[in-house]
Amino acid sequence: VTARLPDARRTGFVSLVGAGPGDPDLLTAAALDRLRRADLVLYDALVPPALALLAGHAQRFCVGKRAGRPLVNQETVNALMIRAARRGQRVVRLKAGDPFVLGRGGEEALALQAAGVAFEVVPGVTAAIAAPGLAGIPVTHRGLASAFVVVSGHDPEAYGPILDGLPPNGLTIVALMALGASRAIGQRLLAKGWKGLTPAAVITAASTDRSSCWRGTLSELAAGPAAVADALGQVDPGTLVIGEVVALAAVLGGQAAGHLPSAGVGS
Ligand SMILES: C[S@@+](CC[C@H](N)C(=O)[O-])C[C@H]1O[C@@H](n2cnc3c(N)ncnc32)[C@H](O)[C@@H]1O
């Protein structure tokens, strides 16, 4: 794993690239460089097609999930990357946020390594930090939270033991893929002694012009607020944040929301 492309540019190579939360301005310079030099871009459904378009001459295919169902299964994605690299192509595997945060990037890296294909990882701005941050919620803050935990809300058997083991009220919980589980998560934390007044937020489509933020309390979350139900009906991704730091959005939210999606690198 290297942060630089090898000098032998004609050999096939795969870059596992983090696309950030959606705004082209939140792509890293390395991500933009790899896109501009790519022959083939395989991008996830959560990645706005506008980002894939930054790859000027490359072939581009969306290989992500839609409505929870994979368009292309993981084995096929791996096979496409490996085959293209063996043909000498520069492949960008463009994944939402950071490729190694709840995104199966590690599995893809292992598949490339097992196939003997040269690859690199280009880290991205994860929604786990960017979505709260853009809403004015620092995931840590002296005196409020000295740690944060990122969980997937996909599977109660996976997130349950993690949440159950957390000391109530001392840290920030960030849950991805958790809109459908937000009520169950709220109820679970209340049962474990978290205060009902603990602030909670759901941020959808962070960094895009459709961005929205619901803020309330853990008790409200556990009751299944209408705003979260509305968010569930959207196609946009959402990030759930629970902890005292969410209260800072009342002060910092307006300022942070001043971040404007811009034409920036795309122009
Ligand atoms: C499969 S996970 C991938 C996470 C990604 N690797 C990362 O580091 O951000 C997808 C989840 O990320 C979160 N997410 C991604 N983009 C987001 C955005 N723009 N706004 C809010 N949440 C987002 C949502 O919780 C979504 O269900």
pLDDT in tens, 196-229: 999 999 999 999 999 999 999 999 999 987 777 7
> What's the mean pLDDT in 20-45?
96
- What distance in angstroms lies between residue 111's CA and the mean position of ligand 1's atoms? 23
238 lines ligand 1 (CB under 6 A): yes
Catalytic sites, residue numbers: 44, 65
State how beta strands 90-95 and 13-18 pair: parallel
Picking from 176, 174, 180, the residue whose alpha carbon sits closest to that of residue 232 is: 180
Q: What pLDDT is recorded for position 105? A: 96
| Count of positions (residues) in the chain | 267
pLDDT over 90 percentage in the chain: 78
Which of 28, 43, 46 is the best mutation target for the ligand 1 pocket, counting ligand atoms within 8 Å of the beta carbon and taking the most? 46
Query: Best substitution site from 239, 242, 259 to test ligand 1's pocket, by max atoms within 8 Å of Cβ?
Result: 239
Which atom of ligand 1 lies nearest, measured to the CA of 99?
A: 6
Measured from the Cα of 175, ligand 1's closest atom is: 25
131 three-class SS: helix
Closest among 90, 95, 86 to 117, alpha carbons compared: 86
The CB-side HSE value for 45 (13 A sphere, CA atoms) comes to: 13
Q: Any idea what DSSP says for residue 27?
A: S
Say yes or no: CB of residue 203 within 6 Å of ligand 1: yes
Q: Look at residues 120, 101, 116 and name the one whose alpha carbon lies nearest to residue 16.
A: 120
More confident residue, 224 or 94: 94
133 close to ligand 1 (CB < 6 Angstrom): no
- Nearest to 175, CA basis, from 257, 237, 219, 231: 237
For the Cβ of 205 lying below 6 angstroms from any atom of ligand 1, the answer is yes
How far is 161 from 163, CA to CA, in rounded Å?
6
- pLDDT (mean) for 251-267: 55
Looking at residue 195, its pLDDT comes to 97
Residue 170 C-alpha from the chain's centroid = 24
Average per-residue pLDDT for the chain: 89
Dist. CA 47 → ligand 1 center (Å): 10
The answer to whether the beta carbons of residues 73 and 24 sit under 8 Å apart is no
pLDDT value at residue 225? 74
179 Cα to the center of ligand 1, angstroms: 11
Closest by CA to 121, choosing from 146, 140, 147, 103, is 103
The DSSP string of 199-256 is EEEEEESTTSTT-EEEEEEHHHHHH--HHHHHHHTSSS-EEEEESGGGGGHHHHHHHH
The ligand 1 atom at the shortest distance from the C-alpha of residue 177 is 27
Q: Is the pLDDT of residue 180 over 50?
A: yes
Local confidence band at 182 (pLDDT 50, 70, 90 cut-offs): very high
Residue whose CA lies nearest to ligand 1 atom number 3: 103
Give pLDDT, residue 226: 74
Say if residue 134's pLDDT is above 50: yes
Q: To test ligand 1's pocket by mutation, which of 16, 104, 152, 176 has the most ligand atoms within 8 angstroms of CB?
A: 176
Q: What's the pLDDT score for residue 3?
A: 52
pLDDT band at 258 (very low <50, low <70, confident <90, very high): very low
CB of 207 closer than 6 A to ligand 1? yes
